[in-house]
Amino acid sequence: MENTRRRTQTQSAGTPDAGLYLPPVDGRRANAFIVGFNDHQRRHLQRLDPNGHYSFHTLLAFDQLRQTGVVPVARLLQEANERLDHFPEPIDGIVSFLDFPGIEMAACLAARRSLPGPGLEAILRCNHKLWSRRLQAEVVPELCPRFTWMDPFDEDPLGKLEAQMAYPFWIKPLNAYASFLGFRIDDPSDFRQALPKVRAQIHWLGEPLEHFMEMADVPDELARLGGSILIAEEIIKGNQCTLEGYVHRGVSRIYGVVDSIRETNESSFARYEYPSQLPTELTDRMAGAARRLMGQIGFDNGQFNMEFFHDREHDRLWLLEVNPRLSQSHLELFEKVDGASHQAVAIRIAMGQEPEMPHRQGEYPHAAKFFLRAWRDARVVRAPGPEEIERVENQVPGSSIIVRLGEGMRLSDLPDQDSYSYELAWIWIGGEDHADLMSKYEKVKELLNIELEEGPDAPH
């Protein structure tokens, strides 16, 4: 009865309540520019602004920052600056909800106009994995796994790794997205299989990163190593979760904790669930570590998310990584459970306002994002179109679906995939409890009726 009563109160209040989280700026229509804007982000922002107090402008499209090959950072920054220079109205804020290189570009563009936002160097201290790990080892050494770096173009990179790391371990680019070029190495054969892929594509990430490093005050050693080295880290395990928070004018706050459940390969995500089922005492320990670390990094006036593992057997916390941005995957989770996406925090900070987030005012007590995956390359025989997806959403209350493929394509043509699987669809669901979420997910999978045809040479 309590859940039903809360939903009724929320619905009767009406959507305009969300406008409280994005108030007017100086009694006029404010202009917010979004680096790497896409339709998914726009839908959620518009629900935060039902009264039209804001104009949300695309400053570089999502596809410009997610393309095969090297992203031309210098040219795109010039293009964005020229557009902003010729914009005839006040520019109130510049943000990005996109990871590398979106958040770095937004920092450069905002700083040029003295707009609120985290500095480029603070972002690199989070996103540059080797720099970040070294800072973590100083501030929260008890949370930091063993790590080192490797140059994939050395004559014997594995020999140098084996002298410092025990199997199994991960190798990862310094700065990436969607686990691109991240490989679990269980033995020398895994490394030999991964190395040609790394050597062929690491410059896609390394060259843009080096551009940003040249614009910032980076330690001399890291500058000499460049952007195309990799970090190697020991394997950490346990229950995984993500803290979502922000730092505003030197004060940090954690406003949500999301559980991250991985597939049996321990690499690809199966789903995110909110709120977390971890005990408060444990998440408080994580929050304390997060505040200390962000203070040392010098991060301010921006959002962050921080990923942890908890090893229950030894009651030990591990820090996986720090991201100087919100998680786009969590937009609908916060909206369904708390009543507004956490984009509200990003926009308010970018406008120089005090950030606010509602708490447990949403329609559902629980929500999850599911990743529908395939594990081998295949041709898409059947994929649902927009009208069919809408029918599925209507048949399964609380569901929102993005199908990432089309009929006739091969899964290997999908962008932004990890090294072990292919994401077919993203499925957000709100429900009464965990069992309700899982039941609805199975129903959505059945109704989508995606069909794949594997060939004889189809491994990922």
- 361, part of any domain: no
Quote the CA–CA distance of 96 and 323 in Å, as a whole number.
13
Same domain, 51 and 153: no
What token pair was written down for 82?
């020229």
Domain end point (choices 78, 98, 118): 118
Instruction: Give residue 415's pLDDT.
Output: 74
Which of left, alpha, beta for 114 (phi over 0: left; psi -120 to 50: alpha)? left
Tens digits of per-residue pLDDT, 278-306? Answer: 999 999 999 999 999 999 999 999 999 99
Sheet containing strand 30-37, edge to edge, reads 54-61, 30-37, 93-96
Q: What are phi and psi of 134, to 5 degrees?
A: -65, -40
Mean pLDDT of 229-245: 96
Give the E-state strand segments of 204-286 in sequence order: 230-234, 239-248, 251-262, 269-274
Name the amino acid, one letter, at 245: G
Q: Are 65 and 71 in contact (CB under 8 A)?
A: yes
Quote the CA–CA distance of 164 and 18 in Å, as a whole number.
52
Same domain, 158 and 77: no
Classified as helix, coil or strand, 83 is helix
Q: Which residue has the tokens 């959403």?
A: 393
Cβ neighbours, 10 Å, residue 203? 14
Which CATH number do you get for residue 178? 3.30.1490.20
**Alpha carbon 370 to chain centroid distance?**
15
Residue 391 belongs to domain spanning: 366-453
Instruction: Give residue 23's pLDDT.
Output: 82
Tens digits of per-residue pLDDT, 342-375? Answer: 999 999 999 999 999 999 999 999 999 999 998 8
What token pair was written down for 304?
């962050």
Quick one: DSSP state of residue 412? G
Which CATH number do you get for residue 430? 3.90.1170.30
Predicted structure pTM score: 0.90
Q: Which helix (H) or strand (E) holds 133?
A: helix 129-139
